[in-house]
Chains A and B, each alone.
Chain A
Amino acid sequence: ETGVTQSPTHLIKTRGQQVTLRCSSQSGHNTVSWYQQALGQGPQFIFQYYREEENGRGNFPPRFSGLQFPNYSSELNVNALELDDSALYLCASSPGARYTDTQYFGPGTRLTVL
């Protein structure tokens, strides 16, 4: 059973650019959630995808968007990057979208915006 993987590991972008981050969910999981973790803080929920549909969204602007594919892998897209977008982006997969389902986190993508 493979765990959650994310790519790339690190990324450096400049303000105003666009970025796409990728996540492969754990085998057998159909739900992916994305989080932003600023340095020294707890992860903040961006959104969740369940069976290719957005299934809840946190307090993030529309320039944060996502996709989930038929194999349940997922992408996070961020347009018009701002300096404050510099953070660790984590995806977490779970076997379903029930509130009791355990989430398994990937290693994250460290994004630096200059």
Chain B
Amino acid sequence: GQQVMQIPQYQHVQEGEDFTTYCNSSTTLSNIQWYKQRPGGHPVFLIQLVKSGEVKKQKRLTFQFGEAKKNSSLHITATQTTDVGTYFCAGRHNAGNMLTFGGGTRLMVKP
């Protein structure tokens, strides 16, 4: 079936260091969304990318969608303790309604 893989599974960083999580799909995605889930919380929508090669920024967060629309990345510059949580990518195939989530990258930040 259609899968979305995400790496790494865990990442420990020192506060102030950068962080990147990568998302890969076996097939072309119609769009990709990124969510953040704090411990004990629920996924909160961060951003959506639709166009091939698209890059969007939100303050210290940079999101990219690959040219082939099969991969995506989230980069956080100068992490803060408030960035702690699990970051999920989620994509749709064939403009369908089923959102397929990656396994998530759990970010831990040491102050």
Chain A: residues with CB nearer than 8 A to chain B? Answer: 33, 35, 41-45, 48, 50, 55-56, 58-59, 90, 97, 99-100, 102-108
Contacts and interface: CB of A to CB of B under 8 A. Distances in A.
Interface residues on B, range: 20 to 34
A58 B48 contact: no
A90 B97 contact: no
Interface stretch (B11-19, B68-76, B88-96): B88-96
B96 A99 contact: yes
Given A41-B104, A99-B31, 10 more contacts: A43-B43, A44-B101, A45-B100, A48-B98, A56-B97, A56-B98, A90-B42, A99-B96, A104-B45, A106-B42
Listed from nearest, the 10 A-B pairs whose CB atoms lie closest are A42-B101, A56-B97, A99-B95, A105-B42, A99-B92, A45-B98, A105-B43, A43-B101, A42-B103, A48-B97
Interface of B: 1, 6, 30-31, 33, 35, 41-45, 48, 50, 88, 90, 92, 95-104
A41 B103 contact: yes
Q: Is the interface of A mostly helix, strand, loop or mixed?
A: loop
29 contacts: A33-B97, A35-B101, A41-B103, A42-B6, A42-B90, A42-B101, A42-B102, A42-B103, A42-B104, A43-B88, A43-B90, A45-B98, A45-B101, A50-B97, A56-B97, A56-B98, A58-B98, A90-B43, A97-B97, A99-B95, A99-B97, A100-B31, A100-B48, A100-B50, A102-B33, A103-B33, A105-B35, A106-B42, A107-B41
